[in-house]
Structure 1
Amino acid sequence: MLYLWVVTVIAPTKSRPDNPIAKKLAEFYDTRTRQYNENPEIYHSRLLEKQKTDAIATLKTQLGPLLSPAIVKQLEQNLTLALDFPSLLGTDGKGTDTLKKGEVKKRFGKLIVSQTAAKAVELLFNELMAILHPKP
């Protein structure tokens, strides 16, 4: 329910409520959105990390039963080094492709909304605890 509330009330800037918790959530949501809009390399680094993890998992599941554990471990280390090689060399000046407007929302929208909903739970819990156990 909080996820849907964030999507329908916090994400659209026009309909945001005017109360302290909603303002904190809106600020949190906007900060996360800016973070991903201004740093497209976050997407690319996460995508490369996922591809590396998938390649290693495929190696283990397909070759693991056929080879000894020592050889599998050595292959895993070599594959990890090979996949990390471009990052060790650094960029060639071309940089990553810039994300088009709206791409971040498609790629990270659910993540940002989920993080904002989790922040809402944290804020509401803190408010509840402040009411139940007021500080003297």
Structure 2
Amino acid sequence: MANGDWRMINGETNWVSKTGWVDTVKTSHSNELPPQSADWFYVRAAAVARHIYLRKSVGVGRLRKVHGSTKNRGSRPSHHVNASGSVDRKVVQALETLGIVEKVDEDEEAPSLKGGRRITQAGARDLDRIALNAVEGEEDDE
């Protein structure tokens, strides 16, 4: 997946079903408006899947920090604020229903993993296939 990292995010992302609130929700309290792109939920799902793929386990709190942004506070100094936990939680739950990620139990055989979600074998295989298709599609364009 290393070669097709960011090309995958704009590639096959329509494999996640989105709910009705996706059109009106803001992704952070630092934003004034909801996302303008109609397929932002798919792009976020692909970004979350890639983020979990590259790490052992990732929780929703870490995803909130990664997807956070800088809040404009007018004449006061700007500060980093986390993204909406609901959005990242719903994305992770959608990936879980597809079998791409799974919950990590804290009492498992690997004590270094402290909860969160990790990629499944089937999920890693699917993401590798999507990344390969993205790389092959770009090579065909050249």
Structure 2 length-normalised TM: 0.23
Instruction: Give the structure with the larger strand fraction.
Output: 2
